[in-house]
């Protein structure tokens, strides 16, 4: 029984946990004075530390447990002492310390096990004394050691009899026979018709914390590696125990209740961009709604802010159509016979080209945008991802985006009701895109807009991978943080495989309401309230309207519009702007170092407000597949001394946070490549996604808790130079008081 319990516990652990197993037994004499040698021992190959509960360590410990043989006398003091030594070691999570002690509960080891050697008298041999234990003394020592533990163990041990787990109010009575047989060491089986296999509510409530599975502070499910780390809900929903009212929500969820609770200063997490960029924490009046999930140990809750209550979907434009034909992003599908039969010869109007120098291995239509519908726009996303064939998708998507089919929304249609209005509103941008005529457009590879509902319109029209969701992309998330500003991304690999790109994006706001909003207060003003600065508005955008009115834009961002520029072109443009008219100290210029002997060179970097490098000369030469060398590279990594001085000057502030679901590697980092040596095109990605099969690939990475060091800029600390040259006047003084 003890061996099975130990193995069961091992199987609940993940790579983020640390564990070891101790077999606590000591030598003994038997009833005739024969000596048996046993030692309390740590079973893992690492005797002096806890080990990560990885697959290999769990397998090793399970094998060691299977090989254990009962014998000797129990040695509680030595076992607990060793357990505390392991828990005090450096190998630990720092979260919770737990000792699980498995015993038969008896206070002796039976007649054959003697703690004394025995002796002879005139009457014959007298066996040594039976091994008995002073339980109170053992627990007193455990309690004394625990006082100095950090973190401490549970103050009061929880004892659970097996009958408490297998019976309710003594039922089923038949289990008593099973228990008696187990206590007698018998082997066999016993059928029970109404067996109970669940943990009592009281035990669950005190033994299991409430963990959070989905939350903005946690990594999206698509990014989770093996053995994800689930964090206690209070660690994410509270800061230093605030708001205290959340404890009532937690208690209600633990009790399996259904209801709601309003908190005036609830914490909300808004992503800054990609997951690694962290989140912005804001407090706002919100209501938690919660309920238990039937026939499971899970509970569900969501946080609805007051600003979300008045949510409005974009309305259909009054002008229903301007005669334009919109095309679904899988352009090649229009040439399939089954699609031609349904939609006619639309493919012939597309002028599809393949493998142009600027768009290698991609089908595109240079003067026609395409419409992609993310999985979440479908009423049944899994059917779309795994079951619908491309002909069906292309035909139904074409009909809905062109208004041929009227979507009544889920669950009776293929698409949700927001798709058609979003397409009608955003497709109006097509005429603006096609009329643009500027010299810099030759550097632009993609122009696009993504909506909150998952609609994605791009020019040139091209295929996008099937599981693409614009709202999950870094450029979309980054824009949400500072919607009043134009956002510039760090370099990253284009999703369609054309190379390293930079994205420039802006927010598209929800329209202001027709009814007059409540405009009390100075900050967090709703859409339609009068304003004088962006900071006053809940949306972060104070806009000018007719009649010289300045009003807060709508409370939420409905879409993000953006364009992509190849990194090499963006880099060239930036460095042209940073060239000094007289050539002195221009980027890349050589000059005599202060020592008068050596030659120095001017290095120029463009950094964002998180101290990540937007441009760096090394980005031009680094391999596209080696993303770590150009994606979210901190200035501190390249220029540590410079970063230190910027922090000292107050230009940047250092921020520390915990990545509860970080990613660590079991072997040294190496660039990620496919068998072809390059990242996949959307077509290759879809084929791989569909055919990768049930066997999981080898993972070099695993989940781990990490301390993350980040930076944020303080715009008020920047000083404008007063140099003589026009472009010098635009440069902020960072390291000294002169340009």
* 194-237 residue pLDDT tens: 665 444 444 444 444 566 666 666 766 666 665 566 677 887 88
Check whether residue 124 and residue 153 sit in a common domain.
yes
Tokens of 328: 């679904």
* 78-119 residue pLDDT tens: 899 999 999 888 777 777 888 888 887 777 777 788 888 888
40 neighbors 79 (Cβ within 8 angstroms): yes
Tokens of 304: 């609805």
pLDDT of 293 > 90? The answer is no
**Structural domain contains residue 569:** no
* 323-341 residue pLDDT tens: 688 999 999 999 999 999 9
Check whether residue 92 and residue 125 sit in a common domain.
yes
pLDDT of residue 608: 87
With 0-12 CB in 10 A as exposed, 13-18 as middle and 19+ as buried, what is 165? middle
Check whether residue 278 and residue 334 sit in a common domain.
no
pLDDT of residue 504: 94
CA distance 52 to 15: 6
Averaged confidence pLDDT in the chain: 81
Selection from 39, 42, 26 nearest residue 82 by Cα: 42
Check whether residue 1 and residue 146 sit in a common domain.
yes
204: domain CATH number is 3.30.450
Tokens of 554: 């709508």
**Structural domain contains residue 709:** no
Check whether residue 428 and residue 348 sit in a common domain.
yes
Check whether residue 264 and residue 406 sit in a common domain.
no
In three-state form (DSSP H/G/I as H, E/B as E, the rest C), the secondary structure along 61-93 is: HHHHHHCCCCCCEECHHHHHHHHHHHHCCCCCC
**Is residue 234 classed as helix, strand or coil in its secondary structure?**
helix
475 neighbors 562 (Cβ within 8 angstroms): yes
Highest mean pLDDT out of 41-55, 562-576, 692-706? 562-576
Instruction: Residue count of the chain, please give it.
Output: 739
**Structural domain contains residue 710:** no
In terms of residue numbers, what domain contains 295? 189-305
Q: Give the predicted TM-score (pTM) of the model.
A: 0.65
Check whether residue 301 and residue 328 sit in a common domain.
no
Total number of domains constituting the chain: 4
**Structural domain contains residue 55:** yes
Check whether residue 156 and residue 21 sit in a common domain.
yes
**Structural domain contains residue 119:** yes
Selection from 625, 621, 620 nearest residue 676 by Cα: 625
Check whether residue 97 and residue 5 sit in a common domain.
yes
In 490-581, where do the E strands start and end? 492-493, 500-509, 542-545, 549-552, 557-566
**Structural domain contains residue 404:** yes
Selection from 619, 617, 614 nearest residue 601 by Cα: 617
Question: How would residue 461 be classed by pLDDT, with cut points 50, 70 and 90?
Answer: very high
**CA 585 to each of CA 12, 292, 601, 732, 736: distance values in angstroms, whole numbers, following the listed order:** 61, 66, 8, 16, 15
**Structural domain contains residue 170:** no
Last residue within a domain, chosen from 164, 198, 213? 164
**Structural domain contains residue 112:** yes
Check whether residue 121 and residue 208 sit in a common domain.
no
Check whether residue 328 and residue 459 sit in a common domain.
yes
Last residue within a domain, chosen from 112, 129, 164? 164
63 neighbors 158 (Cβ within 8 angstroms): no
567 neighbors 622 (Cβ within 8 angstroms): no
Check whether residue 259 and residue 338 sit in a common domain.
no
Give, for 541, the enclosing helix (H) or strand (E): none
381 neighbors 375 (Cβ within 8 angstroms): yes
Last residue within a domain, chosen from 305, 338, 366? 305
């Amino acid at each position: 029984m003890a061996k099975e319990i130990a193995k069961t516990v091992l199987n609940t652990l993940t790579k983020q946990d640390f564990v070891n197993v101790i077999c606590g037994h000591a030598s003994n004499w038997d009833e005739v004075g024969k000596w048996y040698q046993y030692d309390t021992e740590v079973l893992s190959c690492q005797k002096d530390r806890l080990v990560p509960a990885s697959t290999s360590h769990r397998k090793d410990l399970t094998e060691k447990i299977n090989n254990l043989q009962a014998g000797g006398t129990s040695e509680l003091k030595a076992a607990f002492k060793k357990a505390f030594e392991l828990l005090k070691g450096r190998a630990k999570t720092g979260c919770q310390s737990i000792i699980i002690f498995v015993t038969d509960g008896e206070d002796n080891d039976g007649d054959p096990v003697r703690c004394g050697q025995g002796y002879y008298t005139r009457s014959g041999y007298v066996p040594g004394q039976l091994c008995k234990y002073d339980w109170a003394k053992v627990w007193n020592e455990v309690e004394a050691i625990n006082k100095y533990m950090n973190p401490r163990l549970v103050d009061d041990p929880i004892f659970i009899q097996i009958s408490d787990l297998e019976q309710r109010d003594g039922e089923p009575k038949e289990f008593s026979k099973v228990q008696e047989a187990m206590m007698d060491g018998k082997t066999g089986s016993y059928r029970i018709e109404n067996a109970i296999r669940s943990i009592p509510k009281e035990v669950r409530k005190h033994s299991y914390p409430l963990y959070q599975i989905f939350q903005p502070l946690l990594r999206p499910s698509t990014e989770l590696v093996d053995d994800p780390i689930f964090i206690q809900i209070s660690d994410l929903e509270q800061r230093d125990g605030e708001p205290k009212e959340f404890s009532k929500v937690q208690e209600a969820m633990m009790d399996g209740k259904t209801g709601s609770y309003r908190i005036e200063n609830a914490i909300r997490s808004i992503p800054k961009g990609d997951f690694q960029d962290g989140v912005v924490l804001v407090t706002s009046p919100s209501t938690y709604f919660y309920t238990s999930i039937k026939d499971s140990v899970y509970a569900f809750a969501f946080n609805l802010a007051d600003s979300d209550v008045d949510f409005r979907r974009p309305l259909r434009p009054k002008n229903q159509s301007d005669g334009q034909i919109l095309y679904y992003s899988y352009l090649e599908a229009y040439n399939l016979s089954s699609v031609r039969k349904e939609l006619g010869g639309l493919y012939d109007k597309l002028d599809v080209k393949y493998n142009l120098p600027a768009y290698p291995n991609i089908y595109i239509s240079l003067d026609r945008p395409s419409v992609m519908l993310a999985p979440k726009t479908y009423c049944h996303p899994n059917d779309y991802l795994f079951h619908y064939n491309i002909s069906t998708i292309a035909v139904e998507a074409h009909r809905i985006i062109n208004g041929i089919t009227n979507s009544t929304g889920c669950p009776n249609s293929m698409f949700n009701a927001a798709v058609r209005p979003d397409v009608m509103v955003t497709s109006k941008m097509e005429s603006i895109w096609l009329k643009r005529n500027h010299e810099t457009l030759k550097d632009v590879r993609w122009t696009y807009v993504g909506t909150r509902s998952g609609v994605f319109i791009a020019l040139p029209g091209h295929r996008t991978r099937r599981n693409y969701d614009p709202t999950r992309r870094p450029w979309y998330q980054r824009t949400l943080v500072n919607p009043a500003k134009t956002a510039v991304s760090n370099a990253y690999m284009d999703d369609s495989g054309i190379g390293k790109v930079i994205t420039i994006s802006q927010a598209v706001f929800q329209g202001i309401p027709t009814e007059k909003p409540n405009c009390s207060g100075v900050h967090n003003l709703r859409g339609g309230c009068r304003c004088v600065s962006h900071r006053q508005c809940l949306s972060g955008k104070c806009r000018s309207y007719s009649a010289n009115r300045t009003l807060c834009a709508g409370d939420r961002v409905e879409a993000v519009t953006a364009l992509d520029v190849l990194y090499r072109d963006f880099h060239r443009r930036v460095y042209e702007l940073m060239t000094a008219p007289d050539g002195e100290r221009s980027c890349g210029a050589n000059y005599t170092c202060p020592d008068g002997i050596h030659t120095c060179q001017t290095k120029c970097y463009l950094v964002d407000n998180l101290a990540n490098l937007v441009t760096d000369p090394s980005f031009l030469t680094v391999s596209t597949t080696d993303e770590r060398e150009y994606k979210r590279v901190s200035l501190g990594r390249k220029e540590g001394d410079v970063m230190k001085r910027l922090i000292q000057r107050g230009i940047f502030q250092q921020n520390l946070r915990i990545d509860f679901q970080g990613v660590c590697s079991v072997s040294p980092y190496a660039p990620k490549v496919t068998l072809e040596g390059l990242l996949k095109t959307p077509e290759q990605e879809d084929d791989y996604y569909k055919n990768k099969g049930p066997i999981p690939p080898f993972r070099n990475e695993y989940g781990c808790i990490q301390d993350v060091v980040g930076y944020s800029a303080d715009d008020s600390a920047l000083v404008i130079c007063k140099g003589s040259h026009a472009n010098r006047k635009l440069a902020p003084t960072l390291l000294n008081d002169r340009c």
